[in-house]
Structure 1
Amino acid sequence: MSERELISKKELLELTGISYGQLYRWKRKQLIPEEWFIRKSTFTGQETFFPKELILPRIDKIVNMKDDLSLDELADKLSPFLFDHPLRKDELGKRNIVSKVVLDRFCGSDPDNTVYAFEQILAYYAVDQMLQSGAMSLEEGELLLMMLKEHGAKFEGRACELLFIRKMGVPVFALAASPSELIFENGAKVVAKVSLTDYMEQLKLKLT
Protein backbone atom coordinates (compact mmCIF):
# COMPACT_ATOMS: atom_id res chain seq x y z
CA MET A 1 0.00 0.00 0.00
CA SER A 2 1.35 3.41 -0.86
CA GLU A 3 1.91 6.05 1.76
CA ARG A 4 -1.14 8.08 2.64
CA GLU A 5 -1.19 11.50 1.00
CA LEU A 6 -0.19 14.20 3.45
CA ILE A 7 -0.69 17.95 3.40
CA SER A 8 1.64 20.35 5.17
CA LYS A 9 0.38 22.78 7.80
CA LYS A 10 1.32 25.73 5.57
CA GLU A 11 -0.60 24.28 2.61
CA LEU A 12 -3.56 23.45 4.84
CA LEU A 13 -3.84 27.00 6.21
CA GLU A 14 -3.54 28.50 2.70
CA LEU A 15 -6.05 26.07 1.17
CA THR A 16 -8.72 26.39 3.86
CA GLY A 17 -8.23 30.04 4.84
CA ILE A 18 -8.16 29.24 8.55
CA SER A 19 -5.57 30.71 10.91
CA TYR A 20 -2.82 29.03 12.92
CA GLY A 21 -4.69 30.01 16.08
CA GLN A 22 -7.95 28.43 14.92
CA LEU A 23 -6.21 25.18 14.00
CA TYR A 24 -4.63 24.76 17.43
CA ARG A 25 -7.74 25.96 19.28
CA TRP A 26 -9.71 23.23 17.50
CA LYS A 27 -6.98 20.76 18.45
CA ARG A 28 -7.27 21.74 22.15
CA LYS A 29 -11.03 21.30 21.95
CA GLN A 30 -10.45 17.83 20.42
CA LEU A 31 -12.25 18.81 17.23
CA ILE A 32 -9.13 17.58 15.40
CA PRO A 33 -7.51 14.43 16.80
CA GLU A 34 -3.97 14.62 18.15
CA GLU A 35 -3.03 11.67 15.93
CA TRP A 36 -3.61 13.75 12.79
CA PHE A 37 -0.74 16.13 13.69
CA ILE A 38 2.24 14.29 12.15
CA ARG A 39 5.76 15.62 12.71
CA LYS A 40 8.18 14.86 9.87
CA SER A 41 11.74 15.90 9.06
CA THR A 42 12.16 18.02 5.94
CA PHE A 43 15.11 19.89 4.43
CA THR A 44 13.99 22.98 6.38
CA GLY A 45 13.71 21.09 9.68
CA GLN A 46 10.72 19.58 11.51
CA GLU A 47 7.32 20.32 9.95
CA THR A 48 3.75 19.31 10.75
CA PHE A 49 1.68 17.39 8.23
CA PHE A 50 -1.86 16.00 8.20
CA PRO A 51 -3.59 13.10 6.43
CA LYS A 52 -5.20 15.02 3.58
CA GLU A 53 -8.34 12.92 3.13
CA LEU A 54 -9.15 13.20 6.84
CA ILE A 55 -8.27 16.78 7.72
CA LEU A 56 -9.94 18.56 4.77
CA PRO A 57 -13.46 17.13 5.33
CA ARG A 58 -13.10 17.72 9.09
CA ILE A 59 -12.19 21.40 8.68
CA ASP A 60 -15.00 21.85 6.15
CA LYS A 61 -17.43 20.36 8.67
CA ILE A 62 -16.16 22.59 11.51
CA VAL A 63 -16.34 25.74 9.37
CA ASN A 64 -19.89 24.94 8.25
CA MET A 65 -21.14 24.20 11.78
CA LYS A 66 -19.25 26.69 13.94
CA ASP A 67 -21.64 29.60 13.35
CA ASP A 68 -24.56 27.62 14.78
CA LEU A 69 -22.78 25.79 17.60
CA SER A 70 -20.22 26.67 20.28
CA LEU A 71 -16.84 24.89 20.16
CA ASP A 72 -17.90 22.73 23.11
CA GLU A 73 -21.11 21.75 21.31
CA LEU A 74 -19.10 21.06 18.16
CA ALA A 75 -16.71 18.86 20.14
CA ASP A 76 -19.68 16.91 21.44
CA LYS A 77 -20.98 16.45 17.90
CA LEU A 78 -17.67 15.55 16.26
CA SER A 79 -15.88 13.58 18.96
CA PRO A 80 -17.54 10.19 19.22
CA PHE A 81 -15.20 8.77 21.82
CA LEU A 82 -17.09 10.08 24.88
CA PHE A 83 -20.48 9.02 23.60
CA ASP A 84 -22.92 6.38 24.73
CA HIS A 85 -26.39 6.05 23.31
CA PRO A 86 -27.98 2.62 23.84
CA LEU A 87 -30.87 1.73 21.55
CA ARG A 88 -33.42 -1.06 21.26
CA LYS A 89 -33.21 -3.54 18.39
CA ASP A 90 -36.57 -2.51 16.94
CA GLU A 91 -35.48 1.15 16.90
CA LEU A 92 -32.41 0.29 14.81
CA GLY A 93 -34.73 -0.89 12.07
CA LYS A 94 -37.41 1.77 12.43
CA ARG A 95 -34.86 4.58 12.23
CA ASN A 96 -33.04 2.94 9.31
CA ILE A 97 -29.75 2.85 11.20
CA VAL A 98 -29.10 -0.78 10.30
CA SER A 99 -30.72 -2.62 7.38
CA LYS A 100 -33.24 -5.45 7.83
CA VAL A 101 -30.77 -7.83 6.16
CA VAL A 102 -28.18 -7.22 8.90
CA LEU A 103 -30.75 -7.31 11.70
CA ASP A 104 -32.20 -10.59 10.45
CA ARG A 105 -28.81 -12.20 9.82
CA PHE A 106 -26.87 -11.10 12.89
CA CYS A 107 -29.52 -10.17 15.49
CA GLY A 108 -32.32 -12.53 14.46
CA SER A 109 -32.41 -14.44 17.74
CA ASP A 110 -32.56 -11.28 19.90
CA PRO A 111 -35.99 -10.03 21.02
CA ASP A 112 -37.12 -6.64 19.64
CA ASN A 113 -36.69 -5.05 23.08
CA THR A 114 -33.00 -6.05 23.30
CA VAL A 115 -30.92 -2.96 24.14
CA TYR A 116 -27.54 -2.57 22.42
CA ALA A 117 -24.72 -0.33 23.66
CA PHE A 118 -23.15 2.17 21.25
CA GLU A 119 -20.15 -0.13 20.63
CA GLN A 120 -22.46 -2.96 19.56
CA ILE A 121 -24.48 -0.67 17.31
CA LEU A 122 -21.26 0.59 15.73
CA ALA A 123 -20.22 -2.98 14.90
CA TYR A 124 -23.56 -3.69 13.20
CA TYR A 125 -23.43 -0.31 11.43
CA ALA A 126 -19.90 -0.96 10.09
CA VAL A 127 -20.92 -4.38 8.79
CA ASP A 128 -24.01 -2.86 7.16
CA GLN A 129 -22.01 -0.10 5.46
CA MET A 130 -19.46 -2.57 4.11
CA LEU A 131 -22.20 -4.86 2.82
CA GLN A 132 -24.02 -1.98 1.13
CA SER A 133 -20.80 -0.93 -0.60
CA GLY A 134 -20.68 -4.36 -2.23
CA ALA A 135 -17.20 -4.96 -0.82
CA MET A 136 -18.03 -8.15 1.06
CA SER A 137 -20.46 -11.04 1.44
CA LEU A 138 -22.71 -11.89 4.39
CA GLU A 139 -20.33 -14.68 5.39
CA GLU A 140 -17.46 -12.18 5.45
CA GLY A 141 -19.72 -9.85 7.43
CA GLU A 142 -19.84 -12.49 10.17
CA LEU A 143 -16.03 -12.48 10.36
CA LEU A 144 -15.95 -8.69 10.53
CA LEU A 145 -18.58 -8.61 13.28
CA MET A 146 -16.61 -11.13 15.36
CA MET A 147 -13.41 -9.12 14.94
CA LEU A 148 -15.05 -5.81 15.91
CA LYS A 149 -16.70 -7.32 18.97
CA GLU A 150 -13.44 -8.89 20.09
CA HIS A 151 -10.96 -6.11 19.35
CA GLY A 152 -12.87 -2.86 18.74
CA ALA A 153 -12.63 -1.73 22.38
CA LYS A 154 -8.82 -1.72 22.19
CA PHE A 155 -8.99 1.45 20.06
CA GLU A 156 -11.33 3.35 22.38
CA GLY A 157 -10.47 7.05 22.32
CA ARG A 158 -8.20 6.76 19.27
CA ALA A 159 -8.75 7.33 15.58
CA CYS A 160 -8.97 3.96 13.89
CA GLU A 161 -9.07 2.50 10.38
CA LEU A 162 -10.72 -0.70 9.25
CA LEU A 163 -9.01 -2.67 6.50
CA PHE A 164 -10.45 -5.53 4.48
CA ILE A 165 -7.79 -7.60 2.69
CA ARG A 166 -8.00 -10.68 0.49
CA LYS A 167 -5.23 -13.05 -0.53
CA MET A 168 -5.99 -16.00 -2.79
CA GLY A 169 -9.68 -15.55 -1.98
CA VAL A 170 -9.16 -15.67 1.80
CA PRO A 171 -10.64 -12.63 3.63
CA VAL A 172 -8.74 -10.89 6.43
CA PHE A 173 -9.90 -7.91 8.51
CA ALA A 174 -7.62 -5.59 10.48
CA LEU A 175 -7.90 -2.53 12.71
CA ALA A 176 -5.09 0.04 12.68
CA ALA A 177 -4.49 3.25 14.59
CA SER A 178 -5.03 6.18 12.23
CA PRO A 179 -3.14 7.63 10.47
CA SER A 180 -0.94 4.66 9.65
CA GLU A 181 1.20 3.35 6.82
CA LEU A 182 0.82 -0.37 6.19
CA ILE A 183 2.69 -2.50 3.66
CA PHE A 184 1.37 -5.90 2.62
CA GLU A 185 3.03 -8.87 0.99
CA ASN A 186 2.65 -9.50 -2.73
CA GLY A 187 -0.69 -10.99 -3.70
CA ALA A 188 -2.60 -9.31 -0.87
CA LYS A 189 -5.34 -7.04 -2.21
CA VAL A 190 -6.80 -4.26 -0.10
CA VAL A 191 -10.51 -4.58 -0.89
CA ALA A 192 -11.62 -1.71 1.36
CA LYS A 193 -10.03 0.78 3.72
CA VAL A 194 -12.43 2.90 5.75
CA SER A 195 -12.25 5.16 8.76
CA LEU A 196 -14.00 3.53 11.70
CA THR A 197 -13.89 6.96 13.33
CA ASP A 198 -15.96 8.34 10.43
CA TYR A 199 -18.48 5.54 10.97
CA MET A 200 -18.62 6.52 14.64
CA GLU A 201 -19.33 10.14 13.73
CA GLN A 202 -22.00 9.19 11.17
CA LEU A 203 -23.67 6.90 13.66
CA LYS A 204 -23.59 9.50 16.40
CA LEU A 205 -25.35 12.02 14.16
CA LYS A 206 -28.02 9.42 13.33
CA LEU A 207 -28.62 8.63 17.00
CA THR A 208 -28.85 12.22 18.26
Structure 2
Amino acid sequence: MDEELISKKDLLELTGISYGQLYRWKRKNLLPEEWFIRKSAFTGQETFFPKQMMLARIDKIKNMKDDLSLDELAEVFSPVPTDLRIDRNELMKRNIVSLITAEYAEPIMGPTQVYTFEQALYLYVFDFCLQSGEMNLDEGKHLLQTLSENYPKFDGKPSELIFMRKMGMSVFLLLSSGSELYTENSVKLVLRVHMAKKVEELKMKITAV
Protein backbone atom coordinates (compact mmCIF):
# COMPACT_ATOMS: atom_id res chain seq x y z
CA MET A 1 0.00 0.00 0.00
CA ASP A 2 1.43 3.34 -1.08
CA GLU A 3 -0.53 5.43 1.41
CA GLU A 4 1.16 6.51 4.62
CA LEU A 5 0.35 4.23 7.54
CA ILE A 6 -0.26 5.13 11.18
CA SER A 7 0.13 2.82 14.16
CA LYS A 8 -2.78 2.03 16.46
CA LYS A 9 -1.07 3.78 19.38
CA ASP A 10 -0.51 6.96 17.37
CA LEU A 11 -4.03 6.85 15.94
CA LEU A 12 -5.63 6.68 19.39
CA GLU A 13 -3.45 9.52 20.67
CA LEU A 14 -4.08 11.71 17.63
CA THR A 15 -7.86 11.24 17.52
CA GLY A 16 -8.57 11.01 21.25
CA ILE A 17 -10.72 7.89 20.87
CA SER A 18 -10.34 4.81 23.06
CA TYR A 19 -9.32 1.26 22.17
CA GLY A 20 -12.89 0.19 22.96
CA GLN A 21 -14.41 2.78 20.61
CA LEU A 22 -12.07 1.77 17.80
CA TYR A 23 -13.06 -1.87 17.93
CA ARG A 24 -16.72 -1.15 18.58
CA TRP A 25 -16.81 0.94 15.41
CA LYS A 26 -15.07 -1.90 13.60
CA ARG A 27 -17.68 -4.41 14.84
CA LYS A 28 -20.43 -2.05 13.69
CA ASN A 29 -18.83 -1.90 10.20
CA LEU A 30 -18.04 1.81 10.46
CA LEU A 31 -14.37 0.97 9.86
CA PRO A 32 -13.59 -1.56 7.10
CA GLU A 33 -11.78 -4.76 8.08
CA GLU A 34 -9.21 -4.19 5.33
CA TRP A 35 -8.06 -0.94 7.00
CA PHE A 36 -6.73 -2.97 9.97
CA ILE A 37 -3.32 -3.99 8.65
CA ARG A 38 -1.16 -6.40 10.66
CA LYS A 39 2.56 -5.82 10.24
CA SER A 40 5.71 -7.04 11.93
CA ALA A 41 7.36 -4.56 14.31
CA PHE A 42 10.22 -4.79 16.81
CA THR A 43 7.63 -5.48 19.53
CA GLY A 44 5.98 -8.23 17.46
CA GLN A 45 2.81 -8.00 15.36
CA GLU A 46 1.20 -4.56 15.45
CA THR A 47 -1.86 -3.02 13.78
CA PHE A 48 -1.49 -0.12 11.36
CA PHE A 49 -4.03 1.86 9.34
CA PRO A 50 -4.10 3.95 6.13
CA LYS A 51 -3.57 7.29 7.86
CA GLN A 52 -5.56 9.80 5.82
CA MET A 53 -8.50 7.47 5.17
CA MET A 54 -8.72 6.53 8.84
CA LEU A 55 -8.47 10.10 10.12
CA ALA A 56 -11.13 11.29 7.66
CA ARG A 57 -13.50 8.46 8.61
CA ILE A 58 -13.06 8.96 12.37
CA ASP A 59 -13.66 12.69 11.94
CA LYS A 60 -16.92 11.96 10.10
CA ILE A 61 -18.04 9.48 12.77
CA LYS A 62 -17.35 11.94 15.58
CA ASN A 63 -19.23 14.72 13.77
CA MET A 64 -22.25 12.58 12.85
CA LYS A 65 -22.72 10.19 15.77
CA ASP A 66 -24.86 12.64 17.75
CA ASP A 67 -27.39 12.81 14.90
CA LEU A 68 -27.31 9.22 13.63
CA SER A 69 -27.18 5.85 15.37
CA LEU A 70 -24.17 3.59 14.75
CA ASP A 71 -26.37 1.36 12.57
CA GLU A 72 -27.44 4.38 10.52
CA LEU A 73 -23.81 5.45 10.19
CA ALA A 74 -22.88 1.95 9.03
CA GLU A 75 -25.47 2.26 6.28
CA VAL A 76 -24.02 5.60 5.18
CA PHE A 77 -20.47 4.21 5.05
CA SER A 78 -21.40 0.91 3.41
CA PRO A 79 -20.24 0.55 -0.23
CA VAL A 80 -23.51 -1.27 -0.95
CA PRO A 81 -26.06 0.92 -2.80
CA THR A 82 -29.16 1.73 -0.80
CA ASP A 83 -32.82 1.54 -1.78
CA LEU A 84 -33.16 5.30 -1.33
CA ARG A 85 -34.81 7.13 -4.22
CA ILE A 86 -34.50 10.81 -5.05
CA ASP A 87 -36.50 13.20 -7.20
CA ARG A 88 -34.75 14.44 -10.34
CA ASN A 89 -35.44 18.09 -9.53
CA GLU A 90 -34.18 17.60 -5.97
CA LEU A 91 -30.84 16.32 -7.28
CA MET A 92 -30.32 19.55 -9.17
CA LYS A 93 -31.86 21.85 -6.56
CA ARG A 94 -29.36 20.56 -3.99
CA ASN A 95 -26.45 20.79 -6.46
CA ILE A 96 -25.81 17.06 -6.31
CA VAL A 97 -25.98 16.82 -10.10
CA SER A 98 -25.90 19.65 -12.64
CA LEU A 99 -28.73 20.34 -15.08
CA ILE A 100 -26.46 19.74 -18.09
CA THR A 101 -25.52 16.29 -16.75
CA ALA A 102 -29.15 15.28 -16.14
CA GLU A 103 -30.31 16.53 -19.54
CA TYR A 104 -27.47 14.87 -21.44
CA ALA A 105 -28.00 11.55 -19.63
CA GLU A 106 -31.76 11.41 -20.23
CA PRO A 107 -31.65 9.84 -23.74
CA ILE A 108 -29.21 7.22 -22.42
CA MET A 109 -30.83 6.40 -19.07
CA GLY A 110 -34.40 7.13 -20.12
CA PRO A 111 -36.76 9.89 -18.94
CA THR A 112 -37.76 9.62 -15.29
CA GLN A 113 -38.78 11.96 -12.51
CA VAL A 114 -37.51 9.75 -9.69
CA TYR A 115 -34.11 8.04 -9.79
CA THR A 116 -33.08 4.87 -8.03
CA PHE A 117 -29.95 5.26 -5.93
CA GLU A 118 -27.85 3.48 -8.56
CA GLN A 119 -29.14 5.78 -11.32
CA ALA A 120 -28.36 8.82 -9.16
CA LEU A 121 -24.90 7.33 -8.51
CA TYR A 122 -24.17 7.03 -12.23
CA LEU A 123 -25.20 10.66 -12.72
CA TYR A 124 -23.13 11.75 -9.72
CA VAL A 125 -20.01 10.00 -11.06
CA PHE A 126 -20.68 11.39 -14.55
CA ASP A 127 -20.97 14.89 -13.09
CA PHE A 128 -17.77 14.44 -11.04
CA CYS A 129 -15.78 13.39 -14.11
CA LEU A 130 -17.25 16.23 -16.14
CA GLN A 131 -16.47 18.82 -13.46
CA SER A 132 -12.89 17.54 -13.26
CA GLY A 133 -12.32 18.95 -16.75
CA GLU A 134 -10.80 15.63 -17.85
CA MET A 135 -13.89 14.30 -19.66
CA ASN A 136 -16.22 15.76 -22.28
CA LEU A 137 -19.96 15.18 -22.67
CA ASP A 138 -19.63 12.69 -25.51
CA GLU A 139 -17.25 10.56 -23.45
CA GLY A 140 -19.85 10.66 -20.67
CA LYS A 141 -22.13 8.52 -22.83
CA HIS A 142 -19.62 5.67 -22.68
CA LEU A 143 -19.15 6.19 -18.93
CA LEU A 144 -22.91 5.85 -18.32
CA GLN A 145 -23.13 2.75 -20.51
CA THR A 146 -20.18 1.15 -18.69
CA LEU A 147 -21.71 1.79 -15.27
CA SER A 148 -25.25 0.78 -16.25
CA GLU A 149 -24.14 -2.48 -17.84
CA ASN A 150 -21.44 -3.53 -15.38
CA TYR A 151 -21.68 -1.88 -11.95
CA PRO A 152 -24.58 -4.10 -10.75
CA LYS A 153 -22.39 -7.17 -11.38
CA PHE A 154 -20.17 -6.19 -8.42
CA ASP A 155 -23.17 -6.64 -6.10
CA GLY A 156 -21.97 -4.04 -3.59
CA LYS A 157 -18.32 -5.15 -3.59
CA PRO A 158 -15.84 -2.22 -3.75
CA SER A 159 -14.92 -1.34 -7.31
CA GLU A 160 -13.09 1.33 -9.27
CA LEU A 161 -13.96 3.10 -12.49
CA ILE A 162 -10.97 3.50 -14.79
CA PHE A 163 -10.95 6.16 -17.51
CA MET A 164 -8.14 5.85 -20.07
CA ARG A 165 -7.28 7.33 -23.45
CA LYS A 166 -5.17 6.03 -26.31
CA MET A 167 -4.57 8.17 -29.38
CA GLY A 168 -7.62 10.27 -28.53
CA MET A 169 -9.90 7.27 -28.03
CA SER A 170 -11.51 6.96 -24.59
CA VAL A 171 -11.98 3.67 -22.74
CA PHE A 172 -13.84 3.00 -19.48
CA LEU A 173 -13.30 -0.06 -17.29
CA LEU A 174 -14.72 -1.28 -13.99
CA LEU A 175 -12.54 -3.48 -11.81
CA SER A 176 -12.33 -4.68 -8.21
CA SER A 177 -10.83 -2.14 -5.81
CA GLY A 178 -7.12 -2.55 -5.22
CA SER A 179 -6.52 -4.39 -8.50
CA GLU A 180 -3.23 -3.70 -10.20
CA LEU A 181 -3.56 -2.08 -13.61
CA TYR A 182 -0.88 -2.34 -16.28
CA THR A 183 -1.12 -0.87 -19.78
CA GLU A 184 1.18 -0.13 -22.69
CA ASN A 185 3.06 3.17 -22.55
CA SER A 186 0.84 4.88 -25.13
CA VAL A 187 -2.23 4.56 -22.86
CA LYS A 188 -2.91 7.51 -20.56
CA LEU A 189 -4.70 6.90 -17.27
CA VAL A 190 -7.03 9.91 -17.01
CA LEU A 191 -9.10 9.17 -13.89
CA ARG A 192 -9.42 6.39 -11.34
CA VAL A 193 -12.67 6.73 -9.35
CA HIS A 194 -13.29 4.74 -6.18
CA MET A 195 -16.97 3.83 -6.45
CA ALA A 196 -17.34 3.06 -2.71
CA LYS A 197 -16.23 6.61 -1.93
CA LYS A 198 -18.80 8.01 -4.36
CA VAL A 199 -21.51 5.81 -2.83
CA GLU A 200 -20.65 7.18 0.62
CA GLU A 201 -20.57 10.80 -0.62
CA LEU A 202 -23.91 10.44 -2.38
CA LYS A 203 -25.61 8.84 0.62
CA MET A 204 -24.43 11.70 2.81
CA LYS A 205 -25.65 14.31 0.31
CA ILE A 206 -29.05 12.66 -0.10
CA THR A 207 -29.64 12.17 3.62
CA ALA A 208 -28.31 15.59 4.65
CA VAL A 209 -30.98 17.87 6.04
The interval holding the TM-score normalised by the smaller chain is 0.7 to 0.9
Do the aligned residues in 2 keep the contact of 1:35 with 1:159 (CA within 8 Å)? no
Q: Give the superposition deviation at 1:45.
A: 5.3
Aligned match of 1:66? 65
Do the aligned residues in 2 keep the contact of 1:4 with 1:181 (CA within 8 Å)? no
Aligned match of 1:148? 147
CA distance in 1, matches of 2:201, 2:128: 11
Q: Deviations over 1:110-167 (max 9, x none)?
A: 4453x32111110111001110111211122111111111111233333333332233
Do the aligned residues in 1 keep the contact of 2:163 with 2:191 (CA within 8 Å)? yes
CA distance in 2, matches of 1:65, 1:55: 15
- Name the aligned partner's letter for residue 97 of structure 2: V
Aligned match of 2:34? 35
CA distance in 2, matches of 1:158, 1:52: 22
Do the aligned residues in 2 keep the contact of 1:89 with 1:116 (CA within 8 Å)? yes
Aligned match of 2:5? 7
Q: Give the superposition deviation at 1:77.
A: 3.2
Do the aligned residues in 1 keep the contact of 2:36 with 2:47 (CA within 8 Å)? yes
Q: Which runs of 5+ in 2 are unaligned?
A: none
Root-mean-square deviation over aligned CA pairs: 2.7
| 1:189 lines up with 2:188 in the alignment | yes
Q: Which has the higher contact order (CA 8 A, sep 6+)?
A: 1
Q: Deviations over 1:9-63 (max 9, x none)?
A: 4343343333332222111111112233344556765544433342221111112
CA distance in 2, matches of 1:205, 1:194: 18
| 1:17 lines up with 2:36 in the alignment | no
Do the aligned residues in 1 keep the contact of 2:81 with 2:118 (CA within 8 Å)? no
Percent same amino acid at aligned positions? 55
- Name the aligned partner's letter for residue 50 of structure 2: P
For residue 203 of structure 1, give the secondary structure of its aligned residue in structure 2.
Answer: helix
The structure-2 alpha-carbon separation of the partners of 1:112 and 1:9, relative to structure 1 and needing over 3 Å to count, comes to same
The structure-2 alpha-carbon separation of the partners of 1:46 and 1:140, relative to structure 1 and needing over 3 Å to count, comes to farther
CA distance in 2, matches of 1:82, 1:126: 14
Do the aligned residues in 2 keep the contact of 1:13 with 1:20 (CA within 8 Å)? yes
| 1:123 lines up with 2:126 in the alignment | no
Deviates more, 1:196-205 or 1:73-82: 73-82
Do the aligned residues in 1 keep the contact of 2:161 with 2:194 (CA within 8 Å)? yes
Aligned match of 1:164? 163
TM-score by length of 1: 0.81
Do the aligned residues in 1 keep the contact of 2:37 with 2:47 (CA within 8 Å)? yes
| 1:56 lines up with 2:55 in the alignment | yes
For residue 163 of structure 1, give the secondary structure of its aligned residue in structure 2.
Answer: strand
TM-score by length of 2: 0.81
Q: Give the superposition deviation at 1:173.
A: 2.4
